[in-house]
Structure formats: C-alpha cells, structure tokens
Chains A and B, each alone.
Chain A
Amino acid sequence: MSQTRFRSLLKELTKGFIRENPILVIMLGLCATLACSTSATDAFGMGLAFSFVMLGSNIVVAIIRRVVPSQIRIPVFITVISTFVTIVDYTLKAYFPALSQSLGVYVPLIVVNCIVMARAEAYSSKNTVMASLMDGIGMGIGFTLIITLIGTIREVIGNGTMFGHQVMPARYQPFMIFILPPGAFLVIGFLMALHRKFMITFYESHR
C-alpha cells in the first residue's frame, strides 16, 4: 500500500474521533446517546453494539453499492442495517441478559439511528470497501468514546460510582438529577460547548 493511500485511509479512520464526531458534530443518533448513558457500563455496551452495526452495514453497503439500483437503495440499506441490528439484539439477549434488559427498546432502535443510515447513504454507497471499513471503525470509536464519556460523567456525579465501583468519598451526596433525564441533556450541552472551545483553539479555521 502506498504512503499517500495509507495516509488517506488513516484520515478516514480518525475523522470520526473529534473533527466529525457523530454525536457532537453530526448531531445524529441522539436517542441512544442520551437514553443509554445512565451508567458507564450501559453506555459502553451501547457503544459497542452500535459500532458493530455501523461497521457491518458500512461494509455490506459498500460491497453491494454497484449492484443496487438507486431507486430502491433506501429499503435495501434498511434491510441490511436491520439484519445487523437483529444479530446484535439476539446476541445481547443470549449472552448479556442484564445489559439487554437495561438497554431495552433502544437496541432495536439502532435500526432507525440516523447515523447508520446517514453513513450508508452519504459515505459507503459512494466509497470503496476499505474506505468504508475505516469510516465505520472511526465513527464507531467516536461514538463509543463520547457515549462512554457521557455515561461516566453522569454516573460519577449522579451516583458516585464509575463502572459500578465507588470512586467518590463515602460522604459524597450524589446529585440524583444527573442520572435522571434532565442530566443527560445538561451534560451533552456542556460537552458540545467544550467541543466548540476545543475546535476554536486547535483548528482555528474550523468555526
């Protein structure tokens, strides 16, 4: 593989981390992000489930992109995505029943998670398998990173624990509000502001 080709693939991979982060910048897939981040463990589980679907559907869509007529591409993409979602849903039910229980209806809802569809439509249907693979991995990591971060913040402040372990001193009074729905909106609002600060500082041109 030539140097430039490798570099461009690497760029596809890393753009999802910060610059085009699916949650903070593209602002899609918010349901899962907010609903499944009451604890770091749930958030991480959701992140992995999502990444698997993202990766699988990106690859398949890139493979079949020349075969599918463009008029019926949306239903075809949806079928591909829902296949992967069903795999994840049943795997979680079989091997991680507790996690499956707490993620609930949000796992089947990955199928209408706009990021998966948006990446299939905007990226994989136009790019090679290798580039789509990288895009899928990058977006998956970016999503997992942010959802786990939100989960950790909410769990530490709202419950005094991190991944189920006590981290705050015993006398700490948890702010319950952070594990309740309003806390989710609050945390993501502040993270977005922080992300903007970061962008202005490091990528001056990027506003």
Chain B
Amino acid sequence: MISNDLNIFLILLSAMMVNNILLIRFIALCSFFGISNSIKTSTGMGIAVIFVMVMATAVSWPVYHFILVPLDLIYLRTAAFILTIATFVQLEEMFIRKMLPSLYRAMGIYLPLIVVNCAVLAAAFLCIDYSLGFAKSIVYTIGVGSGYFIAIIMFAAIREVVDRAPVPVLFKGHPISFITASLMSLAFLGFKGLFGL
C-alpha cells in the first residue's frame, strides 16, 4: 500500500511497475486498445500522457488542499477535478501550440484525447486517496505516467507482430489483443512483492 511515509524511490517504482496503471489497475484501457496500432503513435501518446498527468496533479492537488478542504466542499471533488483538468489541458494545448510548435506537432492531436483519459483523473484522485504530500504526489504521478508509457509501447510492439500472425478468425483484432494484454499483465504480476510493495 502506498502512503506518505514511503520513500520517493519506492513510490516511483510502485506506481510504475507493481501497480501498473494499465495492466494491473485497468485504468485508461480505451486509449490502450484504441491507439496502440503502431509504436510511433504510442510513443507520442505516452509522452503526452506523462506531461499532462504531471501538470494536472500539480493543479488539482492545490485545488483540493487549499480550496475544497478549507471550504468544506470535499463532495465537489469529482466535478472540481474534471473541470480543472479539462480547462487546464485546453490552456496547455494553446500554450504549446504557440510556444513550442515542434513539441505540438509531436503530440498535438493526442492532447484533446487526454481530457477524457481516465488515467489523468485517476492519478489525481489516487494522490488524494493515499494522502500524499505535494512533492510525493508529483513523483507518484511521474511513476504512473511512466508505467503507462512503458506498457503502451511494449503492447504496440507486440501488436505489430501479432497482426502478421495467423490468428483464428474469431480471435482476429480485439479478442487476441485482450489475450496478449492478459499475458503481459501476468508478467507484470511478477513484480508483486518486490521490496515488499
């Protein structure tokens, strides 16, 4: 279990490997199956997710601790977070388009998709649920994002090979992808118990 007294390295490792957001926690699977056709798009998406996720936690953590808690409005958490994150991603998109055009070309089309990516919201919620401090929340989010990055790239690589393999008609496409994911998840389960996490 993750808590605030865990050291930074263990939080990172736990978020990235032991509790991998895609394969163990099943969050953000829509994008996982939707856009993992090629390694190239997966890389773009992975980078965009890490970036947005860290920024979103950096915004939502203060919103929760400095606005919602003092005003006793914790029950507005869901609405407040999703609106903050959606607005923020929009601003971020405008900023990147203006200031960093090359980065925008690399991850531009993925940014709007991320608003509805559950992983971003989930990371923000989990930081609150585990009652992590600000710095540790950021580290945790980096871990979650990297976990997403690693898993989606590995999955895209496997899918490129599977697409050329002779798969029974009934399993072609999505069913075989799920079975692939199942085997990958089995492999990630092997990290369980590492350093007592």
Contact = CB atoms under 8 A, between A and B. Distances in A.
Contacts of B174: 27, 189, 192
Contacts of B178: 185-186, 188-189, 192
A184 B182 CA distance: 7
Interface string B1-33: 000000000000000000000011111111001
B165 interface: no
B30 A90 contact: no
Interface in B170-185: 170-171, 174-179, 181-183, 185
A54 B144 CA distance: 29
Interface in A149-207: 177, 180-186, 188-190, 192-193, 196-197
B39 interface: no
Interface stretch (B44-52, B60-68, B73-81, B95-103): B73-81
B30 A197 contact: no
A113 interface: yes
A196 B175 contact: yes
Q: Chain A interface: which size bin?
A: 35 or more
B78 A82 contact: yes
Contacts of A28: 30
B82 A78 contact: yes
B170 A181 contact: no
Interface stretch (A9-17, A57-65, A104-112, A123-131): A104-112
Which 6 residue pairs of A and B lie closest in terms of their CB atoms, listed nearest first? Answer: A189-B178, A185-B182, A30-B29, A82-B79, A34-B26, A182-B186
B189 interface: yes
A74 B82 CA distance: 11
Interface of A: 27-31, 34-35, 74-75, 78-79, 82-83, 85-86, 89-90, 104-105, 108-109, 111-114, 117, 177, 180-186, 188-190, 192-193, 196-197
Q: Taking chain B's interface residues, is the majority helix, strand, or loop, or is none over half, making it mixed?
A: helix
Interface in B140-197: 170-171, 174-179, 181-183, 185-186, 188-189
A192 B33 CA distance: 14
Nearest to A188: B178
B58 interface: no
Contacts, number: 112
B126 interface: yes
Nearest to B116: A112
B79 A86 contact: yes
Contact of A181 (B24, B117, B125): B24
A197 B182 CA distance: 21
22 contacts: A30-B30, A35-B26, A35-B27, A78-B83, A78-B86, A79-B83, A82-B83, A83-B79, A85-B78, A86-B75, A90-B75, A105-B126, A105-B129, A108-B77, A108-B125, A112-B117, A117-B116, A181-B25, A182-B185, A182-B189, A186-B182, A193-B175
Contacts of B55: none
B119 to A, nearest CB: 9
